[in-house]
Structure 1
Amino acid sequence: MLNRVILIGRLTKDPELRYTPAGVAVAQFTLAVDRPFSRDQGEREADFIPIVTWRQLAETCANYLRKGRLAAVEGRMQVRNYENNEGRRVYVTEVVADNVRFLESPNREGGGGGQGRDEYSGGAGGGSRNSGSKSSGNNQDPFADDGRPIDISDDDLPF
């Protein structure tokens, strides 16, 4: 069996961070994902997909994602149900994310296409960050000398 979802869209509002009674962080947000076709008048339709993240990934999303930001989400589809206050059974379909990629730089405001790409993953060992455009400790571009030879000895190579 396979249950894997990959979505790219914009947040409809800031993530909502909560904690379970056991102290586990959970963040919820909605991703607006454009449909691949337009209406008769040329208007694009979108689907609004609820996303849930847990633990360190939830805290990271709550700290860095904002309304309107472009994000990629990987996870699994989950359907759960509960009984509401009126005694009716309510079914909820959502994506439980285990990987969220921030596709716009956090210092760019508005809906422009930023160049920064950060990936945050949840897992048994907590969240981890893999930055695709930033070096840790400073804001210099690690690929600024692209095309120039790199001075490295054979002893430094792992193979």
Structure 2
Amino acid sequence: MLNRVILIGRLTKDPELRYTPSGTAVATFTLAVNRNRTNQEGEREADFIPIVVWQKQAENCANFIGKGSLVAIDGRLQVRTYDGKDGQRRWVTEVVAENVRFLDRREGGGSQGISTFGSEVEFTDDDIPF
């Protein structure tokens, strides 16, 4: 069996870092991933995917990336259920990240750059889908 997800996108807000009762770090954030098509108004469509990161990688995410950061996620899809306060069963689908790669670095002004195998690519705030 194979359960592997690879995504590249931008964070919609800063990661939220929490700790379990046993002291294990867990960070959550939502990743905006553009689709290859546009909607009827000519705007780019995006999917907003919940991401969960554990342990030291969770702390690194909370410390080094934030809203608008470009990241690559390598992980697995997880579906879980829980009972809400109203007694209704809720289903959650999320990606549990096994590896998070920070693809950009913050520089002065409104642009961010990433190094991709020796070449420099520039992004502006217009590239962020939110």
Identity %: 63
For the aligned residues, what is the CA RMSD?
1.9
Higher normalized contact order (CA 8 Å, seq sep 6+, divided by chain length): 2
Structure-2 residue corresponding to 1:123: none
How many aligned residue pairs are there? 118
Superposed, 1:73-152 pairs within 5 Å as 73-105=73-105, 107-108=106-107, 112-116=111-115
Change (3 A) 1:17 1:95: same
Cα distance, 1:116 vs. partner?
A: 5.0
Cα distance, 1:110 vs. partner?
A: 6.9
Within 1, Cα distance between the matches of 2:107 and 2:57?
22
Cα distance, 1:39 vs. partner?
A: 1.4
Structure-2 residue corresponding to 1:29: 29
Paired letter, 2:97: A
Higher strand proportion (structure 1 or 2): 2
What TM-score comes out, normalization by structure 1 length? Answer: 0.69
Within 2, Cα distance between the matches of 1:60 and 1:18?
13
Give the greater-gyration-radius structure (CA).
1
Task: State yes or no: 1:44 paired with 2:44.
Answer: yes
Structure-1 residue corresponding to 2:123: none
Paired letter, 2:44: R
Structure-2 residue corresponding to 1:125: none
Paired letter, 1:78: Q
Paired letter, 1:108: E
Structure-2 residue corresponding to 1:16: 16
Change (3 A) 1:68 1:75: same
Structure-1 residue corresponding to 2:121: none
